[in-house]
Structure 1
Amino acid sequence: MEEYDYTDPEFFNTSSDSRQEHNRFLQFSKFFLPCMYMVVFVCGLVGNSLVLVIYIFYQKLKSMTDLFLMNLPLADLVFVCTLPFWTYASIHEWVFGTSMCKILLGTYTLNFYTSMLILTCITVDRFLAVVQATKAYNQQAKRMIWAKVICLSMWVISLLVSLPQIIYGNVSIHDKLICDYKDEKISTVVLATQMALGFFLPLFTMIICYSVIIKTLLHARGFQKHKSLKIIFLVVAVFLLTQTPFNLMKLIRSTSWEYHAMTSFHYAIIVTEAIAYLRACLNPVLYVFVGLKFRKNFWKLVKDIGCLPYLGVSSQWKFSEDTSKISSASHNVEATSMLQM
């Protein structure tokens, strides 16, 4: 999270960008960023909280995927809880002090990269579950121990990556108070490390693992195969569409300083940044709601809180539950491992 002082007249090269265009950008950023932050906050808070409730009270942690999916909404939930602070700061100024600046910068970075590492682990786990289904099933107990070690390691690694934001985060005064992170001596190393963990590692893992998964599923039998392929393509497509633009902008910003004087470039920065944050809203849908087991537990929760009669879906829920039982009995191992999480 980097907060630029766009009101600083020296921030832009006014010889190439008119003052009128600069003022339009200021109005756009003051409206667009708070709106996007709050949309991601509300949707991410509701979706990830719902996932956590279901996993805590309804779904037993029987596999590595279950444990990873338990940590994913936790990381995303803490991530979205930092957004109200940035929303207020983007509208007014930073009023929360230096200590909160360091904590929130570190928390933001910690949970952002934890969630990306968890997505990488989920990809590898699905790869093993599909390609080596029998071996993975026979080593379930050992895999659960490794899953706990991996989850703890991911949080520790993300904390280490977040240390520069915690150490060098500070409140600076321009036309207003701004919480930002600036240390030119190590910024290039930090950027390279964070982009490797937050973008390139998940991207390469998805490309390699899902390519093999698709090849395996194409040779599998069963009517669920095509649904599995659709889920895979959806996961990869959403990751690329939300994460690629912002990471490209960060690369350009770190290597081509002349773009800092262009108003159009800063339009691209704030828009792609907001799109990247949508990942926290979409993760519950992509990685949990597509699972038959989770949908079954979701309807149990709805039934327990007494919403089914008002929604008029009691018969549909029973039919869906029966269908899930029939279909799960007829799948082969390869198809089931992608859907019945």
Structure 2
Amino acid sequence: MAEYDDGDTAFFNASNDSSQGHQDFRQFSKLFLPCMYVVVFVCGLVGNSLVLVIYIFYQKLKSLTDVFLMNLPLADLVFVCTLPFWAYAGIHEWVFGSIMCKVLLGIYTLNFYTSMLILTCITMDRFIAVVRATKAYNQQAKRMAWGKAICLSIWMVCLLVSLPQIIYGNVLYHNRLVCGYHNNATLPMVLATQMTLGFFLPLLAMIVCYSVIIKTLLQARGFQKHKSLKIIFLVVAVFLLTQTPFNLVKLIRSTNWEYHSMTSFYYAITVTEAIAYLRACLNPVLYAFVGLKFRKNFWKLVKDIGCLSYLDVSRQQKSSEDMSRTASAFHNAEATSMFQL
């Protein structure tokens, strides 16, 4: 869903740029956004489905981290499933009706911000696990119960936050049928709430918690701390690189800044929006595949579905070749030794 909504009257009535610039932007958005939606949909669908399958059938929910990591791909999965509708609407127009418009706007908002709050919970869980490791281990059962309650609360809060999209979402006509909002008076308040939940709260949690985690790891002894620091920096860097540009342009758009109606600004909105959605593809890698236990369960899954049969044959052939080479080298060495004697 493009944040300029294709129904933004400021965009169509703006006099800062030429009408030719507006037409060029429409052509760009019709090509760029649907392509990005498809890429995020395919990668996010495969990655998050794989994480869910492994957690359901192999890894189980044995810790609080597993509970959060189970809800994270679930939220991302439902989020990416809405993207094909927006891709089609971006190329053509909205043909799915008013009810579907409201439902998809609500689902889009619900799952996008649910995943961001779950990331916040993962950050706080890692803080407790590292900084207060003994206390976290002794209260593991209690933390599991609290974790499930927190996940349920997150889904309920995000459902309330998405209600304005469901209520005010409708099919509008601006040169073509689009799915957008017919009551712009509520948008500033909704935007402020969503940005608080979807960006500023996770960002604050990451800054505070990971700062203490880094300090604790640096004071600890052991080889693994360097690997942990790399993962932490990677998580923070990906979050900042994907989410900060999009939220900055949304903040500018909510003001009365004179340049917000320029065509170049809408290029910025479109590109940063696409970058922000890459988070749904990267989450499975950052929060699941970096774990040793998860990688072991992944290879178990690959073996169970029969994908390793070809690899096993190749390994056997390679092993036999290596053994024959070793035997040949041994005989050559033995012959050389006899010749020298």
Shift of 1:311: 4.0
Aligned to 1:106: 106
| Amino acid in the other structure paired with 2:238 | V
CA pair 8-137 structure 1, distance change in 2 beyond 3 A: closer
Cα deviation per residue 1:54-77 (whole Å; 9 max; x = unaligned)? Answer: 000000211111000000000000
| Amino acid in the other structure paired with 1:198 | G
Calculate the aligned-residue CA RMSD, in Å: 1.8
Aligned to 1:128: 128
SS in structure 2 at match of 1:180: strand
Aligned to 1:177: 177
Map 1:23-172; keep pairs closer than 5 Å.
23-172=23-172
Map 1:161-310; keep pairs closer than 5 Å.
161-310=161-310
CA pair 10-290 structure 1, distance change in 2 beyond 3 A: closer
| Amino acid in the other structure paired with 2:62 | K
Structure 1: how far apart are the matches of 2:313 and 2:285? 20
Contact 1:127 1:210 in 2 (8 A): yes
Shift of 1:20: 3.0
| Amino acid in the other structure paired with 2:38 | M
Shift of 1:5: 2.5
Gaps of 5+ in 1: 316-341
Cα deviation per residue 1:8-43 (whole Å; 9 max; x = unaligned)? Answer: 8971534x3233332222221111000000000000
SS in structure 1 at match of 2:180: strand
Structure 1: how far apart are the matches of 2:314 and 2:146? 40
CA pair 143-165 structure 1, distance change in 2 beyond 3 A: same
Shift of 1:250: 0.4
Contact 1:7 1:26 in 2 (8 A): no
Shift of 1:313: 9.9
SS in structure 2 at match of 1:58: helix
Structure 1: how far apart are the matches of 2:313 and 2:140? 36
SS in structure 1 at match of 2:59: coil
Contact 2:44 2:281 in 1 (8 A): yes
Aligned to 1:22: 22
Cα deviation per residue 1:239-268 (whole Å; 9 max; x = unaligned)? Answer: 000000000000000013533430100000
Shift of 1:306: 1.4
Shift of 1:165: 0.3
Gaps of 5+ in 2: 316-341
Structure 2: how far apart are the matches of 1:230 and 1:256? 41
Aligned to 1:4: 5
Structure 2: how far apart are the matches of 1:10 and 1:255? 14
Structure 2: how far apart are the matches of 1:30 and 1:241? 24
TM score, norm. by length of structure 2: 0.88
CA pair 178-294 structure 1, distance change in 2 beyond 3 A: same
% identical aligned pairs:
80
TM score, norm. by length of structure 1: 0.88
| Amino acid in the other structure paired with 2:241 | L
Contact 2:252 2:260 in 1 (8 A): no
Choose 229-238 or 258-267, whichever is displaced more: 258-267
| Amino acid in the other structure paired with 1:4 | D
SS in structure 2 at match of 1:222: coil
Structure 2: how far apart are the matches of 1:51 and 1:314? 27
Structure 2: how far apart are the matches of 1:10 and 1:295? 48
CA pair 279-9 structure 1, distance change in 2 beyond 3 A: closer
SS in structure 1 at match of 2:61: coil
Structure 2: how far apart are the matches of 1:79 and 1:250? 20
Structure 1: how far apart are the matches of 2:41 and 2:120? 23
CA pair 10-69 structure 1, distance change in 2 beyond 3 A: closer
Structure 2: how far apart are the matches of 1:188 and 1:228? 39
Shift of 1:108: 0.3
